[in-house]
Amino acid sequence: VPGVITLTTDFGLRDPWVGIMKGVILRLVSDVHLVDLTHEIAPHDVLEAALALEAAVPFFPEGAVHLAVVDPGVGSTRRPLAVSARGHFFVGPDNGLFTAFLRDGEWRAIEVARASGPDTPASVGIVELSRTFHGRDVFAPAAAHLARGVALERLGREVHDPMRLSWPVSSRTREGIAGEVIHVDRFGNLITSIRAEDIDSLPPARDAAAAGGVGRVVVAGVGREPMRMVRTYTDITPGDVAALIGSSGRLEISMRETSAAVTLGFGRGTRVLVRSGKP
Amino acid sequence: VPGVITLTTDFGLRDPWVGIMKGVILRLVSDVHLVDLTHEIAPHDVLEAALALEAAVPFFPEGAVHLAVVDPGVGSTRRPLAVSARGHFFVGPDNGLFTAFLRDGEWRAIEVARASGPDTPASVGIVELSRTFHGRDVFAPAAAHLARGVALERLGREVHDPMRLSWPVSSRTREGIAGEVIHVDRFGNLITSIRAEDIDSLPPARDAAAAGGVGRVVVAGVGREPMRMVRTYTDITPGDVAALIGSSGRLEISMRETSAAVTLGFGRGTRVLVRSGKP
Amino acid sequence: VPGVITLTTDFGLRDPWVGIMKGVILRLVSDVHLVDLTHEIAPHDVLEAALALEAAVPFFPEGAVHLAVVDPGVGSTRRPLAVSARGHFFVGPDNGLFTAFLRDGEWRAIEVARASGPDTPASVGIVELSRTFHGRDVFAPAAAHLARGVALERLGREVHDPMRLSWPVSSRTREGIAGEVIHVDRFGNLITSIRAEDIDSLPPARDAAAAGGVGRVVVAGVGREPMRMVRTYTDITPGDVAALIGSSGRLEISMRETSAAVTLGFGRGTRVLVRSGKP
């Protein structure tokens, strides 16, 4: 069975950098599927890439290698990292890209050694050719080695303090569940830090029946009207704004066939509250 | 020989959704080529996707599976569909995406059953995890099953009334062949609903020799001057507008190394007429 | 071991053209990796594609086939070309796309014959279906044949005068090394025609120690202040402009986490000078 390597970068698709990383990989391993997650991460936006990985990784086969290069610190002293967690491998700079997989559960992290270092067997052969393109010179070879079965430990020395991002979460307040918009997708849907299970923990409104359901409403932005929660996009009345649980299990604010982000002027960081009540 | 699955969506390339569908496929079938047709279909533009499939499918190997997800009705009662036609398979929502392959010839259509339904053998195992991402939860698994040789019939119950779009055609009028612009490509070429064979059915002008050829001209837009038909882009005089038969066998209106769409202010729906005569 | 075919075009990703070329390839060869270099070459910009190939090809496995279609002359008499050079194959229009591999060293070039021509064995079977899409009808089949082991010579007749572009180079002047900006990348870095080895040939300033290093500075644009050379992006003081050797071994002008191109108003063709001295 061929291995799988996914690629996530902020390189864009205009320059041949992603193709170059794939060339490097294919020199080292041939029996592999190369799958692009996205190369349109906003330049240097580590959190956006970390959230994309959180959403995508669970749908890939066990043993997949996830190569991610969003690297404002390339050439600095930040460490190159390889991680094993939840049956998957991760390779990229140690800047928080893999936070979703380092928050709980078991994981193991390795600082990837250069070929010149004392810890890398010559057979692994990771060579730093440039100071500015570690994706090509360090991370792609490391991902290829993992995909062809080289043990994680052979890539370098174990580290116990990989960097983790401050992770966008939701919190229970007296008013309900408070969170924020963490991403705007191509359709203008506003994806929030509030998860389905957070909402399930909120008691329904006493007047839930009158509210026509569980009686939970969403308020986004300051001084806004509450909007109702629906099951799916087609339940939204054209022109209305509504909230629903999207495909990643997160609360989304959406409009029907138009951009909620543009219409409302909302974006990353907009505060969102789920509370009991009727719209 | 590995199978082939093509993917056509309006998901764009910024979010990891296409990658997620590929992950789902690779969990179910490994010996497969995954080929992107396009993920830049205008959001919810089912006709644009249907035309892209019409243009591309004939060039793929027999037995290829074409997964298309442009789905304004996701979560509604529209049916998930799998189709066999002209030696190819198609999987996607029943909203007209596959019209080009359901207009004539033999075809067979199946409503894809969820794993929880009575019609899906447990071994096929298509599970609807979310109400908003059937591409991941219904269509990608169905495409993977077809690519690994599961019989179409095992995916669900046969249906005889798949939805078909009103298809952009040309018509013979007293003036000539009337049609419309159906697509503007990246270079600004205006692709029309008029096909080479339609034009061949039009008698050439009596003064064809004087007109310097078959004596057919194209008029696009209202009150415009006729333009001449040429063989290829390089026959167009810089600054001129001309018409030619493009790579899909359709009449195109083009300029040399500049956008005819921008220069003329034309777009989808602009009326086009081919008639006998000289420019 | 599967072969590798890379694809470089100006087709963009909105239309299904790239997918169609892959379909054509997969009908002819199945055991192959298809790798996109870029499809976002500016329309008809042959030099941009030629520079992308120069940067990327060395990182691919020996024997890889590089299919490139940026073809303002499609349908004209320009020849279809297949080239063998430096252990790689190249297929595309004869318009200078492969200049980087035809400047020195050994190479062999073939004019790809159509199936109807006298030179093409029927078993190779390249058929010109359209006058406007040679990528699909001529180049993709030729690339597939090379990837499945057909000898280069079987594709057509040898030619000795493939077209070469005027190549952006640097020159030694009394002031130092003169060159120009040849490309602006996604991050706004300005990549120049000056190479690391050109700079190494420049004697350091006599006051190098005082200048805090080798004492070489870069002046870009007319009447501008000299900027200092740094090792890597993270050595650039935020707000400053600096120069460094980028991942392709070329001198780049960069800013920290912002676009040097936008900030300075520089682009392709901006003159750049490296000279001895202190900033």
Per-residue pLDDT tens over the stretch B153-166? 999 999 999 999 99
Mean pLDDT of chain C: 88
pLDDT above 80: residue B179 = yes
C256-273 per-residue burial string, b: 16 or more CB within 10 A, e: under 16: bebbbbeebebebebebb
Per-residue pLDDT tens over the stretch C54-98? 999 999 999 999 999 999 887 778 899 999 999 999 999 999 999
The pLDDT value given to residue C209: 53
B27 vs A59: CB contact, 8 Å cut-off? yes
Using pLDDT thresholds of 50, 70 and 90, give the confidence band for residue B200. Answer: confident
The pLDDT value given to residue C126: 52
pLDDT above 90: residue C160 = yes
B26 vs A36: CB contact, 8 Å cut-off? no
For C213: left if phi > 0, alpha if psi spans -120 to 50, otherwise beta; the answer is left
Which residues does A contribute to its contact with B (CB < 8 Å)?
A: 1-2, 4, 6, 8, 13, 33, 35-40, 52-53, 55-56, 59-61, 64, 185-187, 231-235, 244-247, 249, 257
Q: In this structure, what token pair is assigned to residue C237?
A: 């003081």
Q: What percent of chain C has pLDDT over 70?
A: 90
CA distances A236 to A232, A242, B76, C49, Å, are 7, 6, 11, 46
Per-residue pLDDT tens over the stretch B101-111? 998 889 999 99
Q: In this structure, what token pair is assigned to residue A73?
A: 């610190």
Per-residue pLDDT tens over the stretch A152-181? 999 999 999 999 999 998 999 998 999 999
Mean pLDDT of chain A: 88
Using pLDDT thresholds of 50, 70 and 90, give the confidence band for residue C119. Answer: very low
Name every chain B residue with its beta carbon within 8 A of the beta carbon of C73. 234
The pLDDT value given to residue A165: 95
The pLDDT value given to residue B159: 97
- Nearest alpha-carbon partner for C34 in C46, C26, C43, C42: C26
| Angle A219-A223-A226 from CA coordinates, rounded to 5° | 30
pLDDT above 80: residue C33 = yes
Subunits close to C (at least 3 CB pairs below 8 A) = A, B
pLDDT above 80: residue A252 = yes
- To probe the interface with A, which of C53, C247, C262 has the most A CB atoms within 10 Å? C247
pLDDT above 50: residue A72 = yes
CA distance C208 to chain A (A): 23
- Residues β-bridged to residue A112: A156
The pLDDT value given to residue A130: 64
Identity of the residue in B23, B43, B75 whose CB atom sits nearest the CB atom of A187 = B43
Which residues does C contribute to its contact with B (CB < 8 Å)?
A: 11-20, 22-24, 26-27, 30, 34, 43-44, 72-76, 130-133, 136
Q: What percent of chain B has pLDDT over 70?
A: 90
The pLDDT value given to residue B118: 38
Using pLDDT thresholds of 50, 70 and 90, give the confidence band for residue C249. Answer: confident
Measured distance CA(A140)–CA(A147) in Å, rounded:
10
Which of A122-131, B90-99, B230-239 is least confident? A122-131
Measured distance CA(A70)–CA(A68) in Å, rounded:
6
CA distance B107 to chain A (A): 30
Farthest CA pair distance, chain C = 71
Length in residues, chain B: 279
Three-class SS of residue A46?
A: helix
The pLDDT value given to residue C4: 98
CA distances B110 to A157, B89, B99, C151, Å, are 54, 11, 15, 45
- Chain pair B-C, CB pairs under 8 angstroms: 92
Three-class SS of residue B212?
A: coil
Using pLDDT thresholds of 50, 70 and 90, give the confidence band for residue B19. Answer: very high
Radius of gyration from C-alpha coordinates of chain B: 22
Which of A24-33, B127-136, C140-149 is least confident? B127-136
The pLDDT value given to residue A122: 42
The pLDDT value given to residue A120: 41
Identity of the residue in A14, A72, A74 whose CB atom sits nearest the CB atom of C38 = A14
The pLDDT value given to residue C279: 62
The pLDDT value given to residue A77: 80
What is the average per-residue pLDDT within B142-152? 96
The pLDDT value given to residue C130: 64
What is the average per-residue pLDDT within C157-176? 93
Measured distance CA(B91)–CA(B75) in Å, rounded:
16
CB A153 within 8 A of CB A230: no
Subunits close to B (at least 3 CB pairs below 8 A) = A, C
Using pLDDT thresholds of 50, 70 and 90, give the confidence band for residue C231. Answer: confident
B231 vs C131: CB contact, 8 Å cut-off? yes
Check residues A255 and C75 and name the one with the higher pLDDT.
A255
Measured distance CA(B170)–CA(B172) in Å, rounded:
7
Which of B16-20, B200-204, B230-234 is least confident? B200-204
Length in residues, chain C: 279
CB A186 within 8 A of CB B43: yes
The pLDDT value given to residue A123: 43
- To probe the interface with B, which of C132, C139, C148 has the most B CB atoms within 10 Å? C132
pLDDT above 70: residue C210 = no
Minimal-distance CA residue of chain B relative to C133 = B247
Q: What percent of chain B has pLDDT over 90?
A: 63
pLDDT above 50: residue B152 = yes
The pLDDT value given to residue C217: 84
Name every chain C residue with its beta carbon within 8 A of the beta carbon of A16. 8, 37-38, 52-53, 55-56
- Residues β-bridged to residue B84: B89, B108
Question: Which parts of chain B are beta strand (E)?
Answer: 3-9, 32-38, 65-69, 80-85, 88-93, 107-112, 156-159, 171-172, 177-184, 190-195, 216-220, 227-228, 241-245, 250-255, 271-276
The pLDDT value given to residue A261: 94
pLDDT above 70: residue C214 = no
pLDDT above 90: residue B57 = yes
Count Cα neighbours of A181 within 13 Å in the Cβ-side half-sphere. Answer: 24
The pLDDT value given to residue B265: 92
Name every chain A residue with its beta carbon within 8 A of the beta carbon of B74. 232-234
The pLDDT value given to residue A221: 81
Identity of the residue in B11, B18, B30 whose CB atom sits nearest the CB atom of A2 = B30
The pLDDT value given to residue A279: 61
- Nearest alpha-carbon partner for B150 in B67, B251, B65: B65
Per-residue pLDDT tens over the stretch B218-240? 888 877 888 988 888 888 999 99
Measured distance CA(C56)–CA(C4) in Å, rounded:
13
Measured distance CA(A165)–CA(A95) in Å, rounded:
8
Which of A187-196, B224-233, C170-179 is least confident? B224-233
CA distance B249 to chain C (A): 8
Which residues does B contribute to its contact with C (CB < 8 Å)?
A: 1-2, 4, 6, 8, 13, 33, 35-40, 52-53, 55-56, 59-61, 64, 185-187, 231-235, 244-247, 249, 257
The pLDDT value given to residue B122: 42
The pLDDT value given to residue A277: 78
pLDDT above 50: residue C234 = yes
**Predicted TM-score (pTM) of this structure:** 0.90
Which residues does B contribute to its contact with A (CB < 8 Å)?
A: 11-20, 22-24, 26-27, 30, 34, 43-44, 72-76, 130-133, 136
B61 vs C27: CB contact, 8 Å cut-off? yes
Name every chain B residue with its beta carbon within 8 A of the beta carbon of A196. none
Per-residue pLDDT tens over the stretch A202-221? 877 665 554 445 578 888 88
C19 vs B56: CB contact, 8 Å cut-off? yes
